[in-house]
Amino acid sequence: MKNIAFMLLILMLCFTACEDIVDIELDEGPVEIVVDAWINTDTVPQVIKLRTTAPYFSNEFVPVVNGAEITVTDEDGRSFEFIESNNSGDYIWTPEPGERFGEIGKNYNLSIALDGKIYTAASSLNPTVPVDSITYEFREESLGEPEGYYAEFFGRDQPGLGDAYWIKAYKNGIFLNKPQEINIAFDGGPSAGSEVDGLIFITPIREAINPDRDEDEDDLPPYELGDNIRVEIYSLTTEAFTYLERARIQLTLGDAALFAEPPANVPTNIFSSEPTENPQGFFVVSEVSSLEAVVE
């Protein structure tokens, strides 16, 4: 017994004494441009953001890209010029009073001229559907969910297969933008091939307008009396739907899932005139509908 105890003590010392600090050095890849060009038909200024990639462990703000010339052109030759604001890397097109960007059914091309290189992308402006109504009800605490007001919206997919949407929700003007709150629909369901064409959006999509809480947040009700709820439905191309679907998988699962994919850049529709470059981001033009309600 003494020999066994001695051997166990030696093993414990081995496991506790072999802790070394390892500094991981990662090779920095090439700096690539990132294009955030999600334009919609709302009557507000439209913004295209240009940034660059940054080292994985960098604690600094993402670098902005200045001095670009950005134009969006429709199939009839009409151009929309986006002008940089205060060297911010944000390029803005401001509509005239009552004007909005684009026309349903037309195709649009993005052109970015920067340092002798040209970046291009294309998108079509698909129609969206109206937000028919927003309802809410008070629920008692159950299954780990706190008591409070829970909301859902109603809307119906338009007839014809292949329509895609991004449903955004706002609580008191604050966009619910956590990765797990990315709420997208293909026809009336969550993904392509679900065969729910022309139907009311399924319940999980309708109820995904409620805030999702992180583990370190206070366990507060999703909505309280007096809260403002805003729902917006954006039309998407099939490529934009796939982009958001892949981005949500990367951001929410990462390496936590048993069979998760290794982190990788999400496929983009941005192309560079320089073959060795790999620009990131996405360009899409969406029609948008919206509705608001107050919890009373």
Domains of the chain: 33-124 (2.60.40), 133-264+289-294 (no CATH)
Distance (Å, rounded) from C-alpha 110 to C-alpha 226?
42
Strand partners, 164: 186, 236
Per-residue pLDDT at 261: 56
- Per-residue pLDDT for 52 more than 80? yes
- Per-residue pLDDT for 219 more than 80? no
Strand partners, 294: 228
Three-state SS for 91?
Answer: strand
Q: List, for residues 121-149, the tens digit of each pLDDT value.
A: 999 999 999 999 999 999 998 877 888 99
- Confidence tier at 25 by pLDDT (50, 70, 90): low
Distance (Å, rounded) from C-alpha 224 to C-alpha 219?
13
9 sits in which H/E element: helix 2-17
Q: What share of the chain is helix, strand, coil (3-state, %, to 5)?
A: 15, 35, 50
Per-residue pLDDT at 8: 41
Beta-carbon contacts of 258 under 8 Å, excluding residues fewer than 6 positions away, are none
Tally the C-alpha atoms within 13 A of residue 207's C-alpha that lie toward its C-beta: 7
pTM of the model: 0.85
More confident residue, 265 or 113: 113
Q: List, for residues 228-249, the tens digit of each pLDDT value.
A: 999 999 999 999 999 999 999 8
Tally the C-alpha atoms within 13 A of residue 186's C-alpha that lie toward its C-beta: 17
